[in-house]
Structure 1
Amino acid sequence: MNPEMPTPEQDLNQEPQAALQDPAAEIDSLKARLAEMSDAYLRAKAEAENIRRRAEEESSKARKYAVEGFAEAMLPVLDSLEAAIGLPNASNEQLLEGTHATRRQLVQALERNKVVEINPPAAAKFDPHQHQAISMVPLPADVQQEPNTIVAVLQKGYLIADRVLRPALVTVAAPK
């Protein structure tokens, strides 16, 4: 317990006249305390408002510039495409080689930004969370493949940080 603060027993033992000897001084003391507390409250309120405003500004900037990293990763791909367009007399081999190089750049840019392709192998189990069945095909009797497994991938799917961006379009083996 704080020795400066009187205990309730000490308050009761004081003479009533001692507590009321100088009411004006006590009022002045309480007014000063009220002024201190009011000032502290206003400062805390202003600080809370500043924190809220800064958080809103940061959130706004984060939304506004969220694609900045992705856009930076895509610029080399755009440069490669523009370079290909700028070669009017390029041979088919050169265009094919440039197309493969540009595709590699694009895949790397997507992977750096956590966009990963979903390309399930044949006979993989159908997963409705990552695959979309376009059709079910009956398999010949000599094919040993389980029902509800993937027969063919018609279009690759993509994940972005464990969330399906686009499911893979697949053909599924029908039950026999």
Structure 2
Amino acid sequence: MSQVDQPEEQLNETVNESVESIDSTEEQLVADAEQVDVAALQAELEQAKAELAEVRDASLRVQAEMQNVRRRAEQDVEKAHKFGIEKMAKELLDVADNLDRALQASESEKDQEVIKPLFEGVAMTRDGLAQMMAKFKIEAVDPMGESFNPELHQAMSMIEQPDVAANTVIAVMQKGYTLSDRLLRPAMVVVAKGGKPQVDTEA
């Protein structure tokens, strides 16, 4: 064999070895692909999807709970603004009652020179208190002539009144009060018993 042919033979051998190596690698890849468990991969994929859905649901629940907490906090703040003075407001009711009694007691003598300045001073004080109470949404419940309402009124007694519709308030012994539409104190009233039936004027 000539020296020229030797490199060609070595080259052919190298090429053949390379081809055999590629074929072997290809066969190995095909074998590995055949060994892949498609069902297992599908199961893992489904599990991953389920876990992702759980995470999303948990995230939505957390967001909803945060919104509920924020809403409750806002409601608590609103109630605190509305009813934070409830205790003080109840104490003011006694002051209003005493001023009303003083005005009623001096009503018949308010024109006398000695009583007039005192009456006017009490009246001005009562007006100022009424304005302050209105500012903080403290409103009187004075149901004279109205139908008895157990949510706002407390019946102290019932009296026969043939000429008055049954369950009509015929006397107010003590006015009631509300704070932002919440009852502070019911009005103490006297209610007509029996009498003529009530007429529905709205019909």
TM range (shorter): 0.3 to 0.5
As a proportion of its length, which structure holds more helix?
2
Q: Which has the higher contact order (CA 8 A, sep 6+)?
A: 1
- TM-score under structure 2 length normalisation: 0.41
- TM-score under structure 1 length normalisation: 0.47
